[in-house]
Structure 1
């Protein structure tokens, strides 16, 4: 007995943690700072942390009430109907639900390259195919409808990431609407806004609801997560906001109790913790600006909680920075072998990261960019 043919699937590879690196190098974990996984440097929402502690004694019960309460709180936040909010076990769980709702075997999805591996992974799990559209380094990873439409071929779903990981670029809502207008009626445009709180742009939820001068649409869905701005990556909580016409589909595609009791109670507390989110967003903006001003290499403008840096040789720079106690993301796995991604940290963490990368660049005497190297089209994208 063997599993089905999984040769076309890739394994998800998360960013390395402090404990893992410290064990490998036989060092004390306190020597390291991790700026590789776009986590919140201020930790979880304090209100959510309290809710988790208070909920611990009730985890023997299924989260039916908590699930309904969180759904209602998120719906109120976006001024949509409860039925439009599909809670999930992280943003990746919401991707699974959308694929269950739209994909037939053999259908294709269109995803950005570089981009989030799980779009394609989930499609393959559901017996769908994966095609890519390229975001060009030469064009500073600009996102617009034309770029996507050049590769569109009747795909069942198109994924946009705004802000985009790992580059930090965004796509204007006018371009999303243009893309949706130009594609087939049965093509779903999914706007992944996992880093949306950090961007100075309105959410694509406006397109679903016909706000801000846009026509209401039934072919756009939006992904959001509690992992980044709310600091709840460890509880795995995300959601999709879908068209109102999809009300009956969620009950048919979700797993029983899609989010845990702890996750739901944490989310209910966090969704109103504006102070924590505002502090987190301010820290990210300051960190991005500091990196762009002080790193001795090209740093792309970003609207996420991270910055992409052209260092010439990502593997060498990331390895040497790790030896010096700063863990960053080698973006070779994204098809960007000359780039590293640095998560926005606290003021002290950011200053340490900048000093370290500059020292490493000087020590290795690398030629930095923006370079003319070609992106690697065959690289597997593996990070969040």
Structure 2
């Protein structure tokens, strides 16, 4: 007995953790700073941490009440009906739910490249196809409806990431509206706003609800997460916001109790912890500005909690940084072999990342990079 043919599927490459790198190099984990996975440098919402401790003794029960309470809290935050919130086990779970609700065998999704690999992976898991549209480096990875429509060929779902990972660009609401207008009624435009709290932009929920001068649409959905600004990545808590017409589909495609008791209780506490989110966003903006101003390399403007940096050889530079205690994301897996993605850290972490990166780049420019055991081959 063997599993079905999985030759079209590839493993997702996550950012490497401190413990993993420390074991590999035979060093103490305290020697490293991790700026590879766009995690919150301030940790989880303090209110969420308290809720987790207080809820620990109740995890023997299914999270029915907590699940409903969190759905209501999210709906209130965005001014939508409870039934429009599809709570999930992380943003990845919400991607799966949307694909389950939408894709028939043979349907396709259209995803950005470079971009988040799981959109296409999930589509293939659900017996769909994955096609791509390009965000062009020559245009600084600008996101426009025209750029997407050039590649559109009747796909059932079009994925837009705003802010985009790994480039940090956003797509204006007017462009998202045009994209929805110029694709067929049976095509769903999904806007992944995992980094939405860090951007000075209105949420695409305005298009679903008909706010800010836009007409209400039934062909736009929004993805959000508690992983980034709220610091709950380890709890795996995300959600989709869908049109009213989609409400009943959730009960037919979700897993029973889509998020754990601890995750729901933490989310309930975190969603009202505005102080933690504001501090996190301010830290990210300061860090972005510092890296844009002071890194001795081209840095693309970003509205996420990370920046994309052109270092010439991502593998060589990321390995040299790792040797010096700074773990960043090699973007070769995104199809950008000359770029690094550096997460916005605390002031101290950002300072270390800037100084160390500049030192590595200077060494390489002077031809001394090989003393670190790193070559371009």
User: 1:364, CA displacement in angstroms?
Assistant: 1.1
Q: Rate the CA distance shift 1:327–1:366 in 2: closer, same or farther, 3 A.
A: farther
Give 1:247's aligned residue: 247
Conserved 8 A contact 1:312-1:366:
no
CA distance in 1, matches of 2:256, 2:2: 27
- What residue number does 2:183 align with? 183
Unpaired runs of 5+ in structure 1? 368-384
Aligned ranges 1:16-27 → 2 under 5 Å: 16-27=16-27
1:145 and 1:88, CA in 2 relative to 1: closer, same or farther beyond 3 A? same
Instruction: String of CA shifts for 1:203-250, please: whole Å, max 9, x gaps.
Output: 000000000000000000000000000000000000000000111100
RMSD of aligned alpha carbons:
0.8
2:110 aligned with 1:110: yes
Shift of residue 202 of structure 1? 0.3
Deviation at 1:365, TM superposition (A): 1.3
Secondary structure of the residue aligned to 1:328 is strand
Contact 1:75 1:82 (8 Å CA) reproduced: yes
Once residues 134 and 77 of structure 1 are traced to their aligned partners in structure 2, the CA distance between those partners, rounded to angstroms, is 33
User: The residue matched to 1:2 in structure 2 has which SS?
Assistant: coil
Q: Say if 2:217 is the partner of 1:217.
A: yes
Question: SS where residue 164 of structure 1 aligns?
Answer: coil
Equivalent residue number for residue 359 of structure 1: 359
1:148 paired residue number: 148
Alignment partner of 1:141: what SS?
Answer: coil
Matches within 5 A, 1:292-303: 292-303=292-303
Partner of 1:373: none
Contact 1:158-1:190 at 8 Å conserved across structures: yes
TM-score in terms of structure 2 length: 0.97
Secondary structure of residue in 1 paired with 2:112: strand
**Partner-residue secondary structure (3-state), 1:240:** strand
1:379 counterpart residue number: none
Looking at structure 1, the residues matched to 102 and 337 of structure 2 have their Cα atoms a distance apart, in angstroms, of 34
Structure 1 residue runs of 4+, over 4 Å off?
A: none
1:217 counterpart SS class: coil
**1 CA distance for matches of 2:356 and 2:84?**
46
**Distance (Å, rounded) in 2 between the aligned partners of 1:327 and 1:363:** 18
Ranges in structure 2 where 5+ consecutive residues have no aligned partner? 368-377
2:90·2:238 contact (CA, 8 Å) conserved in 1? yes
Cα distance change of structure 1 residues 19 and 180 upon mapping to structure 2, 3 Å threshold: same
Distance 1:297 1:349 in 2: 18
Q: Cα deviations across residues 55-91 of structure 1 (Å, max 9, x unaligned)?
A: 0000000000000000000000000000000000000
Instruction: Say whether the 8 Å CA contact 1:311–1:366 is kept in structure 2.
Output: no
Partner of 2:38: 38
Q: CA deviation at 1:12?
A: 1.1
Do residues 283 (structure 1) and 283 (structure 2) align? Answer: yes
Residue equivalent to 1:376: none
Go from structure 1 to structure 2 and tell me whether the alpha carbon gap of 1:65 and 1:137 turns closer, same or farther (over 3 Å shift). same
Return the alpha-carbon distance in structure 1 between the equivalents of residues 35 and 114 of structure 2: 20
**For structure 1, which segment, 4-13 or 222-231, has the greater mean C-alpha deviation from structure 2 after superposition?**
4-13
Superposed, 1:16-95 pairs within 5 Å as 16-95=16-95
Q: Distance in 2 between matches of 1:180 and 1:293?
A: 37
Output the TM-score relative to the length of structure 1.
0.95
> 2:160 touches 2:192 (CA, 8 Å); kept in 1?
yes
Deviation at 1:366, TM superposition (A): 8.2
